[in-house]
Structure 1
Amino acid sequence: MVVANFEASQGESVLFVSPASVNQDALVKAKNTTGDQVGASGKTAFEAMERVAEAPLSKSSYNKIYSNAIPPINSVHTPQVLSRFLSTLIANGTLVLFEPVALEDLDASLCPVTRKEADLVSLLKLTGFVDVNVTSVEPVSDADLAEFVKAWGAVRVEQGVGALSGKLGVARIEVKKPAYEVGQKMTLNFRKKKTAETPAATKKSVWTVSGNDDNGEDELEDEDALLDDDDLVKPSKESLARPDDCEMVDGRRKACKNCTCGRAGMDVEDESDNVVSLDLMEDDDNTSDDVVDVDPTPKEVGGCGSCALGDAFRCSTCPYLGMPAFNPGEKITLGGMFEKDDIDI
């Protein structure tokens, strides 16, 4: 039978974890032995393996945990149990656990223990423990194996012992919790260290400009050498004047079709020649007494040349939009309802 040695220091808190079917005499003996070691300032406690995950264990409250160290040593640690051990231990606390491991590949239908030593070590590291140390792996004797088979609920104990003889061992592993708490915040300093410099060296590095010539002086580029002779010639007024290629009509330059130089806005003809009258509607007797003269001359001249043809031929910015087609100088009469007010007083 595997026998565990319990060690503790003065003032420490120690937790024992075993299955509910633990040997009561062995448990009392372990607690008494450890209680003498921790003294009055320390404490010892026990918790069943089956309820560790839900037990009201305070965080960072135990210096050392002995798990599955009291016979029968037949329980397997789940990831949830190991995570609870990690949170219950104080920073840099120690966990000593015993667990049966398979010495060779075993079928889950034959034995509930299929995890090997390497698998258990990997699980402990993934949980967050450090300094994983496998102190021993002892083969399970047939007498102890019979107790294991009974605890697992097998009916044919002898048949189970014969099938598993020499294939199981008990590993004793000691691990530690990291020296910091889970979720603890730490400040990392990524600032580069400054090298000590003398004041003279610092001043030199700031103000001295090193050159590539032998005298240690920088050679500056001559800005006059960057200009050609043509760059130095002053431009004349004629060369800067805008070319005027507008057509001459009656001694004056007229704006071209689709004028873009701005001359179209300056060509304003006599207003009296561009007055037209609009006669959109006649009276019943085809007579109209009042004539409204409308000056269709726009403030700006359109560039499409189709202003008099009607809206179908006019551009979107034509000043004659909405007016009927007309001939320049034609007088159009507004009659009918346009000669009367809409509101009677």
Structure 2
Amino acid sequence: MDLTGMKNSTLALVDHVVVPLSAVLNAVRELGNEGLGPNDPLIVTQASSLQRLPIEPSSMDMVVSISRSLEIPGNQLLDEISRVLKPSGTILIQISLPTTEHTVKPTSTLESKLLTAGFLEAQVLQMKPFIPSDDDHSFTIKAKKPSWNIGSSFPIKKMTKCLPKVQIDDDLDLIDEDSLLTEEDLKKPQLPPVDDCEVGSTRKACKNCTCGRAEEEEKVQKLGLTVDQLNNPQSACGSCGLGDAFRCGSCPYKGLPPFKLGDKVSLSGNFLVDDI
């Protein structure tokens, strides 16, 4: 029988061959669901024999299962119930067992099966048997389908790292470091000159010369040349800078190493030291 065209909000699954409509209506009313449509509830008998429920996915608000065995509903039927239930839909299971059958905590078995099938908020209810019987004892449990469907997604909020706040005690006496500076500290330091000798058109070595000018002047005096002749040598014949082999007998640069005209003549530190 094809039931895909039905738009029922409540589905009843029973393993009985025949079940009175009042039993299902009582179960729905016990949960406070009075708003049943003209075709509600939809009842499927011998539901345990079905491999697949002929109902559209996510089309039922509530599914009621009434059976006489802990094996019903099985895992396959629970998967089908989850498929046809709408998100946040309710499943209500009542199992009636003979009073002579001693079962240890049947509700724990039902809760485990529901949680394994993906249902949430499983809770045991104290309800009267939907199908009254003098020889049976009933157990009722209710659960909910999650509010999301398989394959649905939702954004995850990214955790923002917050810098730790520095707790400042207003009672602490803070000292301004600038107030510790004196007038002497604020004065601009006087840097020593690079050359400690006199500065002018004609520089002379000072008494305690440490820049090397005194040694240069001593070399100039021994050679009989002026400072300008050493710093900017010139030649009328053009051969003075080539060395003694090209210099005449009266050349003022005789004895000096070769040099380039216009460039300072470089003298080594021991140039005028007598060889022993």
Coarse TM-score class (shorter-chain normalised): 0.3 to 0.5
TM-score between both structures, scaled by the size of structure 2: 0.44
Question: Rg bigger for which structure?
Answer: 2
Question: TM (normalized to structure 1)?
Answer: 0.36
